[in-house]
Amino acid sequence: QVQLVESGGGSVQAGGSLTLSCTTSGNIYSSHCVAWFRQAPGKRSEGVAFIYTSSGTTYSADSVKGRFTISQDNAKNTVYLQMNSLKPEDTAMYYCAVVRAYWTCPIKAYDYGYWGQGTQVTVS
């Protein structure tokens, strides 16, 4: 059983930065994908960034490319989402999620079996 705890959300002005953290209870740093999804009220869930933990290979959605960076710290069992140049449209609840995977990360939320409780990001 993998448990995920997100932190680092908050309120920030447009153009500002936030760093989200996702700390995991189990060892997922081999053959797993960790993803950050977000969901705004009335909108579909969107996968924004993905990391394949065995290799550190990352993928970001076009909507955040160049602004958001996903990274991992194996020693701390933590995956980060560094968010720069934030825009009001980035306002959403952000969730980290984990799935066992081989070589590539799925991009759909329904493929992920473990989820954190979410952390709110508000950009004004």
Q: Exposure of 17 by Cβ count < 10 A (0-12 exposed, 13-18 middle, 19+ buried)? A: exposed
Predicted pLDDT at 52:
95
Predicted pLDDT at 29:
77
| Residue among 75, 90, 102, 76 nearest 36 (CA) | 90
Q: pLDDT by residue for the chain (124 residues), tens digit each?
A: 789 999 999 999 999 999 999 999 877 778 899 999 999 999 999 999 999 999 999 999 999 999 999 999 988 999 999 999 999 999 999 999 999 988 889 999 999 999 999 999 999 9
Predicted pLDDT at 59:
96
Q: How far is CA 67 from the centre of its chain?
A: 13
C-alpha dist (Å) from residue 20 to 28, 42, 104, 119: 18, 23, 23, 8
Predicted pLDDT at 31:
87
Q: Give the strands of the sheet with 4-7, arranged side by side.
A: 4-7, 18-24, 78-83, 68-73
